[in-house]
Structure 1
Amino acid sequence: MTNTAARRVCFALQVKPERIDEYRERHAAVWPEMLRALKTTGWNNYSLFLRQDGLLIGYFETADLASAQAGMAATAVNARWQAEMGEFFVALDGSPDTGFLQLTEVFHLEDQLDALTTTATERSTS
C-alpha cells in the first residue's frame, strides 16, 4: 500500500487454547452490523491470523488509530462484541480492541521501493 495517509497497524493477542475452535467459528460469520461499524470507523484492510497455539496476529490500515478505536467505542455493537470476545483471550488488559499488544513495523516493501525511486529521481534532477 503506497497511500501515506493510511497507517498500518499490527497487533498480537493470545487466544486461550481451549477456545480456539470457537474463536474461529465466531469469526467465520461476524455480525453484519459489526462489519459495517468497523468499515465506517476506519478499520480498513482488516485481517486476523491465528496460529495453532492461539497466537493471534491482527492487521489493519487506518488514517488514525485513536480515532478508529474511539469510533468503535461509540457504537453499541462494539460493546456487545467486545464483551463476548474478551473471554477468549489470555492475560487481556482491557477489551480486545484496545488491550492488544501493538507491534512495531520494521520493514515495508513499498516504502523502501518508494524511497529508492525518490532517491533516483533526486539524483537525476541534480
Structure 2
Amino acid sequence: MWSKPKPVATADGSNSGAMDTPAVASPTRIKNPGRRIAQIVKLRPEYVDRYKEVHAAVWPEVLKQIKDCNIEDYSIYHDADSGILFASFKYVGYDFAGDMERMRENPKVREWWKMTDTFQESLVPGATSSEAGEPSWWKPLEEVFYLP
C-alpha cells in the first residue's frame, strides 16, 4: 500500500527535509498481487480437435479483452480421459464483477463464447451459456492447497 514518503537523512545524520520519493498529487496504486481462480467445464468428445484448433489461434480482440479485464497467467488444460477442461488464471484487478461485466459487453467475446460453448457441457446446474453470466458456465473450484 502507499504510505507517506519519509524524510531522507543527510550524510551528517540530520534530516534534510527532502523526501525519498517525489511529491505526487495523489497516491499511486501498487499492482494487486492477484487472486488465483480455477474453473472446470466438460469438453464434448467430438469437439476436442476443433477446440484445440481455435485455441491455437484465439481472436486478437478476445485476447485483448481478457488482458483489459485484468486477467493474467491464463491456462486451459484438457484431461482426455474425463473430458474435463481445467482453466486457471490470476485476476489482478480491483473489481472482478465489473471486469467480468465489461468482458460480457464485448461483442467479439460473446461471439467467441457462443462458438466455444457449443463444444462444451457445463457442470453447473441451471447454467445456460457463458454470456448469461449467472449461474456461471464454468464451474468455479475451491483452492485447497497452494505452495508459492
What TM-score do you get using the length of structure 1 for normalisation?
0.77
Residue aligning to 1:80: 111
**Aligned equivalent of 2:74, options 40, 46, 49:** 46
Matches within 5 A, 1:68-107: 68-91=99-122, 93-96=127-130, 98-107=136-145
**Cα offsets for 1:22-76 (capped at 9, x unmatched):** 1111101001111111111112111100111321000011134323321211111
Instruction: Give structure 2 stretches of 5+ with no counterpart.
Output: 1-30
On the 8 A contact 2:75/2:89 being kept in 1, the answer is: yes
Identity of aligned residues (%): 31
Change (3 A) 1:106 1:60: same
C-alpha deviation, 1:91, in angstroms: 3.9
Larger Rg: 2
Q: Which has the higher contact order (CA 8 A, sep 6+)?
A: 1
Between the aligned partners of 1:38 and 1:96, the Cα distance in structure 2 is 14
**SS at the partner of 1:19?**
helix
Residue aligning to 2:55: 27
Residue aligning to 1:60: 89
On the 8 A contact 1:15/1:56 being kept in 2, the answer is: yes
On the 8 A contact 2:40/2:86 being kept in 1, the answer is: yes
Between the aligned partners of 2:130 and 2:49, the Cα distance in structure 1 is 18
Instruction: Give structure 1 stretches of 5+ with no counterpart.
Output: 111-126
Residue 109 (1) aligns with residue 147 (2):
yes
Between the aligned partners of 2:36 and 2:102, the Cα distance in structure 1 is 17
Aligned length: 108
The structure in which a higher percent of residues are strand is: 2
What TM-score do you get using the length of structure 2 for normalisation?
0.66
- Runs of 4+ that moved beyond 3 A: none
Residue aligning to 1:116: none
Compare 42-51 and 97-106 and name the one that shifted more: 97-106
Residue 16 (1) aligns with residue 44 (2):
yes
Compare 58-67 and 73-82 and name the one that shifted more: 58-67
